[in-house]
Structures are given as structure tokens and as C-alpha cells.
Structure 1
Amino acid sequence: MKVLIAGGGRTGAQLARFLISQNHDVTIVEDRKEVLSRIHRELPTEMIVEGNPISPQILEDAGIRSANVLAAVTTSDETNLVLCYIARKRYGVRRTIARVNNPRDAWLFTEQFHVDVAVNQSEILARLIEEEMSMGDMMTLLKLRRGNFSLVEEKVPPGARVIGVELRNMDLSHCVIAAIIRHGEMVMPRGVTTFEVGDEVLAVADPQGARMLADWLSPAEKA
């Protein structure tokens, strides 16, 4: 996959190193002399294009016409928005990802500017804190690329409401049980499947579904 990264700061350089380790074709564009001096020591010179990332000529020199993904991670929100817009409208890049530097600008990073994914660190931290407060011991393993769903995992604790309940009798809208790991073996969930203490439950859920599952996995209320 061909990835064009606009911005060679710490975020861009780290992203480039990771993608290179995954055998992707990466080019990074940067125009700040002090940053160029550093990344030339950290990254292969042939993958670095020096120049203004919003210059069409520089973008073409960097191979934007063949890029599958543009990652706009400069320190300027305006530049990142313009880059996404140019990449999609002028060059037909299929996937655009933009870094949000100022949380107050987050509302601009939408389909109107052809931003497919906006990376807003403040929002990510807020959601992690919210999940930690509301989901108990449930762990988010990964966010699915499209939609508002995640792969979550939690172990069934002693006294959980779910123990002995058949899956078909659980109200789990917005949540699909993908697998149950029991004594090191995978149990494929069926309607008549019941849960035991120590089961590791893997599920695909949106935030509402994750909360419902967390409720089932919480201790039963004593009469």
C-alpha cells in the first residue's frame, strides 16, 4: 500500500517507521529545516520529499497520484484540511486521515473537507476515560475501521448475572457475542449456550451494546 504522510514531526516520523516495518510504501513530505535535519537521520533519504506539503508540484513529486492513503499530520489544522480536500478532489486518493491539533477545530474535520478519519487526541482520551468509568473490567481490543463498533473482551466474574443464562434469553441488541474462551478452548456461541465463571467473552458492540454486556457481566443484585 502506498501511503503519503504530510508532516515529518514526531507523529509523522513515528507513523512512517511503523508503516515501513509493515512493508508499506511510504513517502513523507516536510519543509521545516530543523525537522528535515532530524528525519534524514531517522528515515531513509529516498522516502523524504522536501517542500511545502500543500504545493501540488511537491505532492506530485511525492507520488500522490498513486497514493492509496494520505495522512495529514502537520501542526496546522488548516493545512491538514486543505491537504485532505486536494487529495480527494484533485488526485482521487481513496482514503484520507487528518490530525486535529486544536480540539475547537474538530467540527471542521468532516466529509465536507473529504476527511475520512479525524484523529482528535482530546476526544480519544475523553472516550477512554468514559469507557474506563462505565465499562468496569471490560477491555476494548480494537476499534473497527468503519462504524461505531469495537471488539471488546471481559472475563465472567463470580456472581455475574449472566452465569447459567442461555444466550438466547439475553437482551443484547447492539452487541454480538463472537466467541467464548473456556479453559483455553474456543466455544462457538449458540442460542442454548450458557456462561460459566472464568469464561472470556469476545463481542462486537457499539457503546450501547457494550454497556448492556457489561451489565450482564456485573454481579447480580442480592434480594
Structure 2
Amino acid sequence: MKVAIAGAGAVGRSIAQELLRSGHEVTLLERRLDHIDTSSAPAATWLHGDACELELLEETGLQDYEVVIAATGDDKVNLVFSLLAKTEFGIRRVVARVNDPRNEWLFDEGWGVDVAVSTPRLLASLAEEAVQIGDLVRLMTLRQGQADLVEITLPADTPLAGRAVRSLTLPRDAALVTILRGGRVIVPQADDPIEGEDELLFVVSREAEEELRKVLGLGDSGDRPE
């Protein structure tokens, strides 16, 4: 897979290193000379220039890339790069870093973003997930379909215990992706039983989230403090 990354700071370089280790072809675009450190990812292609400049993206041949990642420390740059990648080059998958959580609402399909990754929000979600039992926790927003990856850790005395996965009448726009049980990762089958303390991962649209809560026997989200 060919991946272009805008921003070769600490975050961009780390992403490049991970992708290269997985055998992908990576190009890094960076306008600051002091951020260009080819020794940190010698197998990558390094280009000096502004990722918001259409001429540089044309020279890069961005249309030949499957994925682009906007990983700079400037939300404005990440938005412009994402929009150009999607509208001018037809990139199938655009992933963008959100630096300031107050700007997260901008990172949607209107700006060409398929997946927005907000580090502060992700860390907060993971902290909630570690301590909250019996309630939905949003882990990540998948903007292309206006859906979220959500998690619930069932209490030990859940009334769902012993029921088969097939018995869950899930909303149309919700899917049970994985059951985490102890050290196991279970791809759920229709006849698999649900157990207390299972960790369930769903992909669900915002509109279907309340219905999913009811299926799982949770209270109205309006009853919870945000």
C-alpha cells in the first residue's frame, strides 16, 4: 500500500516507521527543514515542501496513493491537505490528526476527512473504558459513515449472560465486531454465548446509538452526566 504523510515531526515519523515495518511504501511531505531527518525512516521517500501546495502534490503523484495521513501539528494545514487529497486527487482513505479538540467538529467529510484521530479524546476514552462498566464508551469516530467505534464492558451480573449473539436484535446501523473475553479475541458467530464481564466492540451510527443502548439494557444517555 502506498501512503503519503503530511508532516514529518515526531508523530509523522513514528507513523512512517510503523508503516514501513509493515511493508508499506511511504512518502513524507515536510515544509520545515529542521523536521527532515531521513535517518529516522531511511526507507521512506522524503519531499521538502508545503503539503497545502497543489503543485507539490501533483509532483508527488498523490493520485497514485491509496491512503494519505494529515499528521502536522497545525489543524488548518491538516484540513486543507485532507480536502485537496479527497477533492483534487480522489484519495480513497484520508486520515487526519486533530490537535485541538475544539476543532474536532470540522474534521468530517465536508473537509475530505474519512477518519479523524483526536489524541486527547482517544486518551480520555481509553481512561473511561478502563473504569466504566455497563455503559457505552466512544473510542473512535469514523467520519466517512458518521459512525463510532464504541465499547461496553458488561457487568458480571448482566441479564444478557447466557444469551446467544443471534438473540441481540441490533439496530440496522449497528454491528457487533468483536468480543474480548479474558485473553481471547472472539469474532462473534450467531450461536456464541454472551458472558458477564465480556467487552463488546460495536460500530454504530450516532442515530442508532440510543437504540443500541436499549438493546443492551442500558439507561437513557440523557440520564448520564457528560
TM over 0.5: yes
Q: Show the counterpart of 1:122.
A: 120
211 and 73 in structure 1: CA distance in 2 versus 1, 3 angstrom threshold = farther
Bigger relative contact order, structure 1 or 2 (CA pairs below 8 A, ≥6 apart):
1
State the Cα distance separating 1:151 from its structure 2 match.
8.0
Q: Do 1:106 and 1:120's aligned partners in 2 also have CA atoms closer than 8 Å?
A: yes
Q: Which 10-residue stretch deviates more, 41-50 or 91-100?
A: 41-50
Instruction: Map residues 133-212 of structure 1 onto 2, 5 A cutoff.
Output: 133-135=131-133, 148=147, 150=149, 157=156, 161-163=159-161, 188-190=189-191, 204=202, 206=204, 209=212
Letter in 1 for 2:105: W
State the Cα distance separating 1:132 from its structure 2 match.
3.0
Instruction: Map residues 1-223 of structure 1 onto 2, 5 A cutoff.
Output: 1-36=1-36, 39-44=37-42, 47-135=45-133, 148=147, 150=149, 157=156, 161-163=159-161, 188-190=189-191, 204=202, 206=204, 209=212, 213=216
Q: Do 1:176 and 1:204's aligned partners in 2 also have CA atoms closer than 8 Å?
A: yes
Q: Do 2:82 and 2:113's aligned partners in 1 also have CA atoms closer than 8 Å?
A: yes
Q: Which 10-residue stretch deviates more, 128-137 or 44-53?
A: 128-137
Q: Do 2:25 and 2:44's aligned partners in 1 also have CA atoms closer than 8 Å?
A: no
Q: What is the CA deviation profile of residues 137-183 of structure 1, one whole-angstrom value per residue up to 9, with x for unaligned ones? A: 999999989664548686985x654455566777776876678899x
RMSD of the TM alignment (CA)?
4.1
State the Cα distance separating 1:131 from its structure 2 match.
2.8
The count of aligned residue pairs is 210
Where structure 2 has 5 or more consecutive residues not aligned to the other structure, the ranges are: 219-226
CA distance in 2, matches of 1:103, 1:181: 29
Where structure 1 has 5 or more consecutive residues not aligned to the other structure, the ranges are: 216-223
State the Cα distance separating 1:125 from its structure 2 match.
2.2
Q: What is the CA deviation profile of residues 75-130 of structure 1, one whole-angstrom value per residue up to 9, with x for unaligned ones? A: 11111111111112211112211111122222221221111111111221232233
Q: Do 1:100 and 1:121's aligned partners in 2 also have CA atoms closer than 8 Å?
A: yes
> Normalization by structure 1: what TM-score?
0.70
Q: Show the counterpart of 2:221.
A: none
State the Cα distance separating 1:187 from its structure 2 match.
9.3
Structure number with greater Rg is 1
State the Cα distance separating 1:14 from its structure 2 match.
0.7
Letter in 2 for 1:40: T
CA distance in 2, matches of 1:178, 1:79: 33
